[in-house]
Each structure stands twice: as structure tokens, then as C-alpha cells.
Chains A and B, each alone.
Chain A
Amino acid sequence: MGKTLFDKVWDSHVVSSIENGPQILYIDKHLIHEVTSPQAFNELEERGIPVFRPNQIVATADHNTPTLNQDQPIKDDLSRNQLEQLSENCKKNNITLYELGHKYNGIVHVMAPELGVTQPGLTMVCGDSHTSTHGAFGAIAFGIGTSQVAQVFASQCLLLTKPKSLRVTVNGKLKNGVLPKDVILYIISKLGTNSGTGYFCEYAGNVFEDMSMEGRMTVCNMSIEMGARGGMIAPDETTFNYVKGKEFAPKGDDFEKKVAYWKTLPTDDDATFDKEYSFDAEDIEPMITYGTNPGMGIKISESIPMDENLSFKKSLAYMNFEAGESLIDKPINFVFIGSCTNSRIEDFRVAADYIKGKKKAENVTAWLVPGSKQVEAQIIEEGLKTIFDEAGFELRQPGCSACLAMNDDKIPQGEYCVSTSNRNFEGRQGQGSRTILASPLVAAATAVEGKIIDISKQLN
């Protein structure tokens, strides 16, 4: 029987198997950041265990960093301490760190692919659930807890039971204005937030084949929002062209050899999956969420469904929405374009293309937060910053920012924020804040109009 992409990468990384138990899985690349690593470093130190393979670890500061005045000392004591600990820990253990202000600094899931750290066929982990992003390259990449961060520090391995396999296929032609974010929000709205739990998901079909690497990363990023530990897309010419020439990508003959190997990775025709779903691209429209989990999404032109479930009602009460109502024309005061889901150059190009020649509505505070220093530089280089400035949008410095509001970028109590991030959980963007997830295009249009509009009507 044939093997899936996931099988091929997983099986090649199994060091050994415990009888009736988990397997020892070898991890090629370990990404770390300031929030989920300090306790792991402490644990190793307390137990007197050295970091086993420091050259396979890459560190960045992203979760808890300010997006203004990054050249100045951080005011918040706890945040500053956390960043200082990261610097000290990396120095002590010979780990490469791209700290705040470094030209390669950025959100871990934006900067690692940009540097060519992310490559097909690798196993990658990070103490962050959106590590699934890197699956866009045909890597097995998933989020881990801090105890597991310590395990990888100690042994470059994890003890894991092989997840089941799931494939989501989308074929057809996407409508005008439907972006990768809409595709994944649509899938999650159909399958729910726990349909992928216990599974690794492969995305297949021409819709994903036709996507750029940025788009594929947006899709794989949100795999965890349907419960899947990771998502993957078969590597192809788009992948190889993206990786080629990147700082840490293999070079010359080495690269060609790797490409030859990477070409063997896609799922065999006769391979089978534990679960399969398929959707038609034509059915997908610009999406928006109305509730407090990413599965609570609708086409922007639809109304909020009716449901008697208590948790559903609690969720609508939190959002101050009514079952059966439409979100079109809802006034919105905050718009956030950023996060590891949508903060790559393509996302800002989409936004700038829509915004060009228009002005932000007066009631709106619009934050644009690039995913990395490289994206920030590109925004300036391509002249997008001028467009944003003229339209009244605020371009900030890179970081996770208002996606999880660990820093000062918080949405006030009771306010709605149309956000390109990945989670609309209660208070995710600040205590009492109400998040509406959408694509960068819908977010840009909301900022211009000061309210939610049916973007598909405007485009067609």
C-alpha cells in the first residue's frame, strides 16, 4: 500500500518504538521564543542536563514585544525580564537568537520560513500551537508544551504516538475576492473545532496547488483551529522556488539533491487516509466569524445561524450578537492586520491594493503589524507604506501584537475588532474584546468603510 506525505516524513524520523507505547521521533528544527522556553531552560538547569543540539535551535522574540519604539528599553518589567532571560539562556547554551531589532527578527512562523530554516521533509516543533504553519512546505510541524520543549532541548526527540491521517481536498476555481484565509475559515466552519483532534491533516487539490507559499502558510497555520496538530501541503515547484536562495537553504548541488528527495515526498496515489473531506472551491465566499471559536464562521453575506446549545448562546451573548442577524453594516472601530496567519508581504499587498486612493473611516483605529523585519522592509521598499500612511493606517513594528494582546496592543472592553489573526476566543485581544476573524481584504474594506460590508458585492 502507498504512503501519505505524512507517513513518509514521520516514518523517516522514528528513532525507535516502545512496545504498546509511543515512538521516539527525531526533531530536525526546534524554534523557540520568550514565553514558552524559560521554564524549560530552568528545568534542564535544575536537572543538570545540557542542551543536546544547540545548532538545531533557532530563537526569536515575538510574543511579548512592543510594536512601537523597539529601539528603546521595554517599559514593562515582566516583559523585559522575559526577553532578557531568553537572551541569557541563548547565550549560555550557544543558541542563535534573532532578538528585538535584529534584521531577521519577527514572528517565529514568519521569520523561520523567510530564512529557509523551514524545508520540506523536516520535523519541526515550537512551543506554539501555530507551528502547524510550516507544514505548508511539506514538513511535519506542530506545537508542543513547555515540558516537551525541555525534552527536545535534552534529546532532540519527543515521545509521541503517531496521529491518524486526514485529508481535506478542495478543487475548482476560487471566486474573486476569496483568499486563502477564507478557504481555511470555510473548512473550519464546515468541520468544527475538534474534527481534526488526533489527526494530522493534508490539504490537497488544485486550490492549494495554485496557492503561493504565503497562502499555503495561512491555511496550514489554522489547522490547529480544527483541532489538528498539524497541516501539510505536498512540496512542489512553488515550494522549491520559495526555499531556493534563502539564507539557510541548501546551496548548489546540495540543493538539487534535496529537491530530488523532496520530489519523492508527495502522497502516493494508492495511499489511504483515516478520514477524508472534499469541498468545491465555487462554494467558498469571503468569510467572517460571529462567535468565540474559529468554527463559528459564516459567509459574509449569510446570517448567524440559530442554535439552542447553551455554549452557543453564551458565545453570542459575549459577542452581543443575535441568532439570525446579519453582520453587514455592523459598525467596527478596530481593525488589525497581522499575526502569524496573515502578516506576510502578500497580505499587505492585498490590503494596499484595496486601500490605494481610499481613506480609513474616521471611527476606525487600524493597526498593520508586519510579521517580521524583512516584511516590514519590503512594505517600505514596495511603496506600500506610503499608501497606508496616506489612507490613515498605522504601520507598526513586527511581533505577535494584538493577536494575543500580551503587549500593549489591546482592543478595549466591548469593542469589536475585525482581525486577520487566528483566534476569536473571549478576551483574546484584550479583556472583554470581541474578535471577528476575516481575511486581509475584508479587514481592509472594514477599515475603509468603518463597518462590515459585503465585499463580494463590491468586487463583482
Chain B
Amino acid sequence: MEKFTTLQSRAIPLHIENVDTDQIIPARFLKATDRKGFGDNVFRDWRYHKDGTINTDFVLNDLTYSGTILVAGDNFGCGSSREHAAWAITDFGFKVVVSSFFADIFKGNALNNGLLPVQVSPAFLSDLMQKIVSKPETVLVVNLEKQTISVKDSELSENFEIDAYKKTCMINGYDDIDYLVNNKEQIEAFEAHKIY
């Protein structure tokens, strides 16, 4: 997993609530057996019309916006557990997703792929959206060590929560498999003395 410490980038505003993982990557693209290439089809049915032409109304096709931070509406990543959603977002180039609320499984999948989910207050999210829409060149600064997200050259800033263990993993690029495999003896001891 790639390490994550700080990120400065412009951001893309996706002003939609309850974005489910079927929208992030539709089921018909889940037939691949490796992790790469899903970025081509991220938000496929919002980015393209059914005839394959580009939907210029969709924000990812709006050249006004760019950057590696996706700022999305409440309850992002609900629905299917498909990790392909996290793979698609990272493969497209995003490193951070900001929302006022994340669905559990998506959040876990993101963290397992070095994609940082930054949960902010609804008020801060609303300010952020407005700021980016009114000034697309706005730069956001995400500092994982300090757990802050701020708008560069402004007062706008907020702290965010992250599990201490997951924070260490993100900063150092560790993943859970390493930890679990190193604890095999303990797991075997548990198996030998199961109480149920």
C-alpha cells in the first residue's frame, strides 16, 4: 500500500448524496479478475450517455475542475461491498474522498487501498462545496498526521477523525495482512481454546 502523509490539491465537487457503489462502478464491469483498470469506468453511467458519448453535464467531464480530491455529498459509498469501487476511484487518480458521512464497508475498503476518507461536518462540507464551485482553483490541504483538512490561504479548516491504528497503517503503508499473519500463534492458541 502507498504511504499517505499530506496532500495539496485542487478538488472536484460531486454534489450528490447517497452515492452508491453501483454508481461508482456498475456491476457489469466487475468481471475482471485483477485490480487494475477500473478507473476507465468509474462513474461510468454518469460520465457517459448510453450511446457512449460523453455527458458534458457531469462534473468529472467539466474541465473547470481538476485534482486528486473528490468532495462528495452525504452517505458516500453506500450499497454493495465491492472493493472495485475503491479501486476505481484510486485508479482514476483520486487520493482523498471528502464527505459528511461514509458507508462502513466503503470506508474500510478505501483505507485498505491507501485512499483516505475524510469525514467532515455537514456545515464544513457545504462551505467547501461553495468555495470550490465559486473558485475552482481552490487548493485543499489534507494533513493526516495532524488530522486536518483546510482550504489553502484561508481560515477554513477542520479536524477529522481516524482510527489510530488505521492512521499508522496509512502513514507507513502497512496493511492488515502483515499484522494478522504475524499474529498466527495467537490465532492458533485461540482456536485451541474456543469457548463456543
Q: Which residues of A contact B (CB under 8 A)?
A: 9, 12-13, 15-16, 18, 20-22, 24, 26, 35-36, 38-39, 42-43, 47, 49, 52, 63-64, 76, 78-79, 81-82, 85, 121, 127-129, 143-148, 150-151, 154-159, 161, 163, 193-194, 197-198, 224, 227, 229, 261, 293, 309-311, 314, 404-406, 413, 423, 425-428, 431-432
Evaluate contact between B27 and A406: CB separation under 8 angstroms: yes
Evaluate contact between A293 and B20: CB separation under 8 angstroms: yes
Chain A residues with Cβ below 8 Å from B80 are 128-129, 404, 423
Nearest residue (CB) in A for B23 is: A426
Evaluate contact between B165 and A159: CB separation under 8 angstroms: yes
**Least distance between B118 CB and chain A CB atoms (Å):** 16
Docked CA distance A38–B179 (Å): 22
The interface on chain B, measured as residues whose beta carbon lies within 8 A of the other chain's beta carbons, has a size of 56
Known: A147-B83, A194-B101, A425-B22. A311 touches B17 (CB 8 A): yes
- Picked from A16, A145, A431, the residue with its CB within 8 Å of the CB of B50 is A431
Known: A16-B183, A121-B196, A155-B181. A197 touches B101 (CB 8 A): yes
Evaluate contact between B27 and A15: CB separation under 8 angstroms: no
Q: List 7 A-B contacts (CB under 8 A).
A: A22-B165, A35-B30, A76-B31, A146-B84, A159-B180, A197-B75, A425-B22
Known: A42-B33, A129-B81. A197 touches B103 (CB 8 A): yes
Known: A15-B190, A21-B164, A155-B184. A36 touches B31 (CB 8 A): no
Docked CA distance A163–B108 (Å): 13
Docked CA distance A13–B191 (Å): 10
Chain B residues with Cβ below 8 Å from A35 are 30-31, 82
Evaluate contact between A293 and B27: CB separation under 8 angstroms: no
Chain A residues with Cβ below 8 Å from B34 are 38-39, 42
Evaluate contact between A425 and B196: CB separation under 8 angstroms: no
Evaluate contact between B33 and A39: CB separation under 8 angstroms: yes
Docked CA distance A311–B76 (Å): 13
Docked CA distance A431–B86 (Å): 21
Does B18 sit at the interface, judged by CB under 8 A? yes
Docked CA distance A293–B20 (Å): 9
**Least distance between B59 CB and chain A CB atoms (Å):** 13
Chain B residues with Cβ below 8 Å from A64 are 30-31
